[in-house]
A and B are shown apart, each in its own frame.
Chain A
Amino acid sequence: MDQPPSSVKLLGSWADSHTHRVQLALKLKGLEFEYQEEDFINPSPALLLHNPVYKKVPALLHGGRSIVESIVILQYIDETWTDNPIMPADPSERAVIRFWCHFTDDKLAPAVGLVFSSSGEGQKAAVDQVHENLKLLERELKDGAFKGRRFFGGDKIGLLDIVLGCGSYWLAVFEEVMEVKLIDPNPSPSSMHGCETSRSNRR
């Protein structure tokens, strides 16, 4: 099911990692799209129209409808434009990918945010929490569901790579701004490699 490329429009914000997820997915699918920059602090009438419930970016406009929530959008893109799939075909592998996407947004991302918004002992605890969360992912890369893979998606970048990768540079920014070490190259060599490979593939 191929749609004319000009019919895809993305409302997003330059600093929003969820917007980047969608941009990356569209690029991986080789799709052209119109991009509209939105002020995510003061939502425009367009954003209020297309995401009345959450009033946030990103919002994907396609075929006269709007799709919101980044993970929902990514799956929509994958199911509409079926070349270069970003989700595996096997249901149990799909469940694993969905689980770690949920983990990223539910546990990892808030923990990183907490590092940024806390200080002193609280920040130390938050940093420890991030390390714990990254260790869980690292374990899957070493011995678990993603053992021996170049990317979480296998040989090619998949949905989980997109979700994780589009936050990884923020880890570096937080590290610099907050002068904390979130990604320790020693305990997590494989996820470092994954981050770097994802990052270089995005350019």
Chain B
Amino acid sequence: MAAASATTEEVKLLGLWVSPYVTRAGIALNLKKVGYEFVQVEVLGQKSEILVKSNPVYKKIPVLIHQGKPICESAIIVEYIDEIWTSEAPILPSHPLDRAVARFWATYIDDKVGLLAFPCGIRFYAPNSIFFWQLLALLKALAVEAAEESSKAETVDQVTEVLQLLEDAFAECSHGKDCFGGDTIGYVDIVLGSCLGWIKAVEEMENVRLLDEKKVPLLVGWAERFLQDKAVKEVTPERDEYVQYAKMISASAR
């Protein structure tokens, strides 16, 4: 089992910070105080060779490479990080039932990421964009084709429903403390919190309120605290970066 401070050569993270999935891995590594080399993967143009080699099945980011072995899928990467570097605060709870509850909410959130992070008719089409093929597939699945007011309102309603459920989940998991994980950032915090950057960017781009303190006050409070955490701040782009990225992808599609 590696020490908490692995040498930078041992740990590589492939990705782009605008991907919430990549942010998850970054947060987990930071919480564990693990040094790593970040390898930015090109979005447009040819797929990066190191990415195709290390994730031949999906060819998607993030990929964590530790001691030469690639680990794929963000939720799996986070659990891996938690199981390898055990000297810092645990990410998953210790009791099997609490772990099952955490994994359940992570599964639910991942089910709904397309809705949470990319609602309201944002259309991206970039054939060589690894990250946005995922997004496009999600958007297609949601059949969000146009930013008409009625479908936008419907999507906002759907997002509100999801957030309402997560508000209840927060009450259940936090036991009155600051995080889904209790006193410290845990698995569900990371899985959901990684989407906050996009949620806020979409609020701005589409002029909608998704995280409404009247409807989901606990989540709003949690989101503010989460985004201020040092481990999170470092790997979460500024809102404008998300907005610019969305514009760039839209423009390149035309």
Contacts and interface: CB of A to CB of B under 8 A. Distances in A.
A76 B97 contact: yes
Interface string A65-91: 101110111011001100000000001
Interface stretch (A15-23, A30-38, A94-102, A186-194): A94-102
B107 interface: yes
B100 A76 contact: yes
A136 B59 CA distance: 13
Contacts, number: 58
Contacts of A98: 73, 76, 79
Contacts of B100: 67, 72-73, 75-76
Interface residues of B, number: 21
A103 B60 CA distance: 13
Given A72-B103, A76-B96, A99 B69 contact: no
A120 interface: no
A63 interface: yes
Contact of B71 (A1, A75, A95, A103): A95
A173 interface: no
A67 B97 CA distance: 8
A53 interface: yes
Contacts of B69: 92
Chain A interface residue bracket vs B: 20 to 34
Nearest to A67: B100
Given A76-B96, A76-B97, A68 B80 contact: no
A76 B99 contact: yes
Given A75-B100, A76-B96, A76-B97, 13 more contacts: A53-B108, A67-B97, A67-B100, A69-B104, A71-B103, A72-B100, A72-B103, A72-B104, A80-B96, A91-B83, A92-B69, A95-B71, A99-B71
Interface of B: 57, 66, 69, 71-73, 76-77, 79-80, 83-84, 96-97, 99-100, 103-104, 107-108, 165
